[in-house]
Structure 1
Amino acid sequence: MFRRFRAIGPGALTAAAFIGPGTVTTATLAGAGYGYALVWALVFATIAAIILQETAARLGVISRLGLGEAVMQRFSTAPLIKWTAAALIISALFIGNAAYEGGNIAGAILGVEAAAPDLASRTVLAGIIAAFAGAILVFGGYRIIEKVLISAVLLMTIAFATALIIIRPDWSALARGALLPTIPAGAFPLVLGLIGTTIVPYNLFLHAAAARKRWQGAEGLDEARFDARVSIGMGGVVSILVLSTAAASLFGTGLQITNASDMAQQLEPAFGAGATYLLALGLFAAGLSSAITAPLATGFAAAELFGFESDPSALKFRLVAGAVLLIGALVAMTGARPVELILFAQIANGVLLPVIAVFLLYAANNHQLLGKHANGALANIGGVVVTLIAAGLGLRGVLRAFGLM
């Protein structure tokens, strides 16, 4: 058992990647606006993420291929389908990650503004943060960012768990919210956002690639599965802690969440005046780290799909990653309210998720790649149910956006 805990890595990094500014913002808005009513969405999203991320890890460990490579190999005898699939995946990833990148940078800005409100304008801060992230992408230092990201998640876990214990939530209401799915009037965008902030499409590519590097073949599969289930499960617990803390301390107060100082009020019962600085530090670290992983994931996916060098120092890789970073910075510079921008990014992820999930399940059923470790009936049922629910929620969101529902 202890050996398995020592092997935890790719799953923990994936969990750390989705515990970013989007998680804190969306879960806080859900708890402050609707109490415990939307906890079920995070329970579903966590279970769904475990199913999909375990599948991605298994694909990487057994096939020794990334998700993009597996898809291309699967359609190698049908060029039209192959390149249509590649175009669809990279378009979904690029659009989703560009929106998500804007939210990442905006989240880091929220953190800076909370600690130093008059330091600089949002446009200047967006440029500085994007330049810093770009320098790390170009010159390396990714391992340091990984450690910072994991440390930020641990800090958030301790902070919100402590605050929740001190506040003493309504445990029966929390249990009902977790077990009885309801969507109160006006809450649907937050439901989609909670799912989008937990099951991030680019994490499926990152997890497959990271697991492939960590474990060599079937002998490492048990550790990879343990890593995915424990790490993603703990990430989901953190999200539920954030929502529950906001529900216990902010629901019914009428507070409009517009900045990090507003969000920090849920931590004040435990940390007093220091709550704002604690949340500011977490938002900045999580935003900066995610601002690096989103372009990296898009670069890796593009390299796998189109066959160029899968190396962050390669020119084509840098062009793809740099484009995502640049668009995200421009979005963050538009002057849109950061909280709304982050929420939009989560909704975009929720809509794009089914596209990536379908290709993952298709690759996971390739017996030539995975042999006896290909998806069985139970894994397929779980994956199809998750994909259909995510697709249904995404379709409803699109129809509502056009006034058709």
Structure 2
Amino acid sequence: MRLTPMLGPAAVAAIAYVDPGNVATNLTAGATHGYLLVWVVVAASLVATLVQFQAAKLGVATGRSLPELCRERLPRWASRTLWAQAELVVLATDLAEFVGAAIGLRLLFGMPVAAAALVTAAVSMVLLELRRRGRRRFELLTVAALLLVGAGMLYDVVTVGHQTAAGLAGGLVPRLDGAQSALLAMGIVGATVMPHAIYLHSALTRRLEPDGPARRRPAALVRRALRLDCGIALGGAAAVNVSMIALGAGLGALTAGAWSGDLADAHEQLAARVGGGAALAFAVALLASGVSSSGIGALAGDFVMEGFLGRRIPTRVRRLVTMLPAVAALLAGAPLTTLLVVSQVVLCFGVPVALFLLVYFCRDRAVMGGLVNAVATTRVAAGAAFVVAAAGLCLPVLLLW
């Protein structure tokens, strides 16, 4: 039995792990603390891999997405409440991703933020149309976007220099250095484990078995395929995130601490101190991050409404409605950094909900059948969920302090 038909969905979910929120947080961490927080990126990525594996397994085992299971097995009032918070998560995701794409377009073409917002909206609609024309095409495009972001960051890491293998290895030792590093560590965790990616991944894998829930393939084969898919995609995303910290550390050393992590300023510093090629690679990577993750957020929004409410509206109509707040904020000239902070605060409240719902269903043999979590897996997943939830819920307090 071939594994190939089950590979691909994790790459789509992985785009959420290299969105503009990750770029901003990791670059700032590298600029201000060098390699100190590399261990946080690695630990958060391991948790993310476990979480996405659970989400993928849930979809394959049940033939249902996580929102659909909530609608079928929870009281109606609970399903409606969960839908409301999930919609807020999708809106906040759109906000961060539109900001990143707008910055990328401005850096590349000098485009005003308002025009950049409209261009991003149009491109995200094109991505959704591509999804309608075939799953594989969409998955290949997201893999290309992930590779483009990684290639841009790696090129800049190499050209900027000022990195050391010893410094990178030292960053794998868990430690913090004051309140600011603790805040950035929580920000990295909050930007890495994304609630909308959980809903999305469970929906993408629910139809991998054409005859419904996974009963035709042996459970061991399914687990192996999903582990491979999540390992490759999330491992790639982790490498990209580590390269962002390395780039931030290199720029911080190159500028002797004069650069603090601002995205637009990073582009200027690269152009002035390294060259136009490095600045171009950074702008293209940021644009690819914002545009591709915006399309993924829109797709997640479709699955959220369909799952929690059991209703569908035309994709184009829904996309227009959900992106309006982000576009309106950019057209109104709201500060980009403030928009990013607000989006991360909202996302922090959505993380615990998605994680605990996932653990709740994956531990239940009546739901999961042969793909049910082992007791040890449930304990590890529950522990990780508590840690991530605590970090996520503390982050808004510190951000708004």
| Normalised-by-shorter TM-score class | 0.7 to 0.9
Query: How far 1:190 sits from its partner (Å)?
Result: 2.7
CA distance in 2, matches of 1:388, 1:338: 31
Aligned to 2:38: 39
Tell me how far apart the structure 1 counterparts of residues 46 and 270 of structure 2 sit (CA, whole Å): 26
Q: What amino acid sits opposite 1:254 in the alignment? A: A
- Residue 300 of structure 1 deviates from its aligned partner by 0.8
Aligned equivalents of 2:388 and 2:270: distance in 1?
Answer: 30
- Partners of 1:136 and 1:142 within 8 A in 2: no
5 Å matches for 1:137-152? 137=128, 140=132, 146-152=139-145
Which residue of the partner structure matches residue 196 of structure 2?
202
User: What is aligned with 2:61?
Assistant: 62
Of 222, 226, 229, 1:227 maps to: 229
Distance 1:141 1:110, change over 3 A: farther
Is residue 157–residue 247 contact of structure 2 (8 Å, CA) maintained in 1?
Answer: yes
Identical counterparts, % of pairs: 24
**SS of equivalent to 2:178:** coil
Secondary structure of the structure 2 residue equivalent to 1:362: helix
**C-alpha distance in structure 2 between counterparts of 1:383 and 1:353, whole Å:** 14
Return 228-237 or 53-62, whichever deviates more. 228-237
Establish whether residue 307 from structure 1 lines up as the match of residue 310 from structure 2: yes
Cα deviation for residue 295 of structure 1 reads 2.2
Residue in structure 1 matched with residue 70 of structure 2 by the alignment: 71
Structure 2 equivalent of residue 334 of structure 1: 332
* 2:102 equivalent in structure 1: 109
Name the structure 2 match of 1:371: 369
- Mean CA deviation greater in 394-403 or 18-27: 394-403
1:169 partner SS: coil
1:392 aligned residue = 390
Partner of 1:210, secondary structure, is helix
Q: Distance in 2 between matches of 1:141 and 1:358?
A: 34
Aligned to 1:124: 115
Structure 1 stretches of 4+ moved >6 Å: none
CA contact (8 A) 1:64 1:212 kept: yes
Quick one: which amino acid aligns to residue 246 of structure 2?
S
The 1:66/1:274 distance shift into structure 2, 3 A limit, reads same
Quick one: distance in 1 between partners of 2:34 and 2:152?
A: 19
Provide the rounded CA distance (Å) in 2 between the counterparts of 1:215 and 1:63.
Answer: 10
1:348 aligns with 2:352: no
Question: Aligned to 1:213, what secondary structure does the other structure show?
Answer: coil
Return 99-108 or 346-355, whichever deviates more. 346-355
Q: Distance between the aligned counterparts of 1:145 and 1:371, measured in 2? A: 30
* Aligned-partner residue type, residue 336 of structure 2: P
Distance 1:392 1:57, change over 3 A: same
Q: Is the 8 A contact 1:42 1:236 kept in 2?
A: yes
Give the aligned length. 388
What SS is found at the alignment partner of 1:354? helix
1:248 corresponds to: 250
Instruction: Provide the C-alpha distance between the structure 2 equivalents of 1:154 and 1:168, rounded to a whole number of angstroms.
Output: 24
Amino acid at match of 1:227: D
Q: TM-score with structure 2 length normalisation?
A: 0.86
One-letter amino acid of the counterpart of residue 242, structure 1: M
Q: Distance in 2 between matches of 1:239 and 1:399?
A: 25
Question: In structure 2, do the counterparts of structure 1 residues 256 and 145 end up closer, same or farther at CA, with 3 Å as the change threshold?
Answer: farther
8 Å contact kept, 1:350–1:390: no
Partner of 2:291 in structure 1?
288
- Look up the SS of the partner of 2:180 in the other structure: coil
Query: Shift in Å at residue 288 of structure 1?
Result: 1.6
State the Cα distance separating 1:136 from its structure 2 match: 4.9
Q: Match for 2:80: what amino acid? A: A
- Secondary structure in 1 aligned to 2:179? coil
Secondary structure at 2:206 match in 1: helix
CA distance in 1, matches of 2:347, 2:31: 22
Q: 1:178 aligns with which of 166, 172, 187?
A: 172
**Normalised by the size of structure 1, how large is the TM-score?**
0.86
Residue 357 of structure 2: aligned partner: 359
Letter in 1 for 2:116: L
- The answer as to 2:104 corresponding to 1:90 is no
Given that residues 15 and 296 in structure 2 are in contact (C-alpha distance below 8 angstroms), is that contact kept between their aligned partners in structure 1? Answer: no
Over aligned residues, Cα RMSD in angstroms? 2.8
Q: Judging changes above 3 Å, is the alpha-carbon distance between structure 1 residues 194 and 401 closer, same or farther for their aligned structure 2 residues?
A: closer
Please give the per-residue CA displacement for 1:128-152, whole angstroms capped at 9, x wherever unaligned: 3224424654685676554443223
Partner of 1:25: 24
Give the CA deviation at 1:6: 8.1
Q: Summarize the Cα distance change of 1:35–1:215 in structure 2 as closer, same or farther, 3 Å threshold.
A: farther
Give secondary structure in 1 for the equivalent of 2:257.
Answer: coil
Segment drifting more, 86-95 vs 127-136: 127-136
CA distance in 2, matches of 1:380, 1:258: 39
2: CA distance, partners of 1:141 / 1:326: 25
Deviation of 1:196 after TM superposition, in Å, equals 2.5
Distance 1:127 1:267 in 2: 27
Distance 1:173 1:105, change over 3 A: same
Q: Matched residues in 1 for 2:337 and 2:279: separation?
A: 16
Matching residue within 279, 290, 309 for 1:276: 279
Distance 1:236 1:350, change over 3 A: farther
In the aligned structure 1, how far is the partner of 2:46 from the partner of 2:334? Answer: 33
Is residue 12–residue 231 contact of structure 1 (8 Å, CA) maintained in 2? yes
Letter of the structure 2 residue corresponding to residue 332 of structure 1: L
CA-CA distance at 1:202 after TM superposition: 0.8
CA shift, 1:165, in A, is 4.8
Partner of 1:192: 186
Consecutive unaligned residues of structure 1, counting only runs of 5 or more, are 76-81
Which deviations, in whole Å up to 9, do the C-alpha atoms of 1:367-394 show, x marking residues without a partner?
Answer: 2121232122111111111111112112
**Which residue number corresponds to residue 237 of structure 1?**
239
**Residue 308 of structure 1 aligns to a residue in which SS?**
coil
Alpha-carbon contact 2:121-2:323 (below 8 Å) kept:
yes
